Amino acid sequence: MLTLTLLLALAAPQADTMTCGWLDEMNNTFIWKPIAMENQPEVYSEQRGLLSMRLPHVPDGWPYAYQWSGVTRDIIVDLDRYPVLVARVSQLQQGSYAHLDIAELDIHGKESWTTRSTTLQTPGLSVADVGKERHGVRRLRLRLIVGGPNEGCSCSYSYVRFVSEEDQARLQKEPDWSRVRLER
């Protein structure tokens, strides 16, 4: 009986654990793929739990006033239960910026709706209330973006999570909250 009680206690979510509808704690950076662009970022991880991107000085003749690029992956999330996308940008090079592009995919994998999270110029939380406009279980394409001066730019993401509105408020107060679990 003690063993069953212990197993139930271990299986039950803890009150201080945040439940997410989808999450990536950046422990495997290889599942994020570079966006199909000319200037793909260097993607690396200085430590477990950190996805870093760097864009070097652009080549001579670059036709734009600044540069940007990023990485992408497709996900499925229940927006009725976990409507808010929150990404923690823990490092941002001077003059750089970071945000997320979010697109809904139709049954053919084509983008049918898009939005963008808040843009950061200093480390912090980039947020998008996707559930304001979309409901139910949706297939989305996320893009983590870094941009900045043509001389070079970089940033590091430490997590991306879909959370409830209550947990968004918790993350605003405690952005490095790490006790999380994925709802199954």
- The DSSP code for 80 is T
Q: What is the pLDDT of residues 94-126, one digit of tens each?
A: 999 999 999 999 999 999 999 999 999 999 999
pLDDT at 120: 98
- The DSSP code for 10 is H
Q: What is the pLDDT of residues 13-27, one digit of tens each?
A: 456 899 999 999 999
How far is it, in rounded angstroms, from Cα 138 to Cα 1? 42
pLDDT at 14: 54
Helices (DSSP H) in the chain: which residue ranges? 2-11, 165-173
Mean pLDDT of the chain: 92
How far is it, in rounded angstroms, from Cα 148 to Cα 163? 29
pLDDT beyond 70 at 5: no
In 3D, which of 61, 33, 66 has the Cα closest to residue 152? Answer: 66
Q: Please state, for a pLDDT cut of 90, what percent of the chain lies above it.
A: 84
Ranges assigned E (strand) in the chain:
18-20, 22-24, 33-34, 42-44, 51-55, 67-78, 84-92, 97-105, 111-116, 124-129, 137-148, 153-163, 180-182
pLDDT at 135: 96
Residue 175: pLDDT band by 50, 70, 90 thresholds?
very high
pLDDT at 46: 85
CB 41 within 8 A of CB 1: no
In 3D, which of 164, 161, 179 has the Cα closest to residue 18? Answer: 179
pTM as predicted: 0.89
Residue 12 structure tokens: 């039950």
How far is it, in rounded angstroms, from Cα 83 to Cα 60? 43
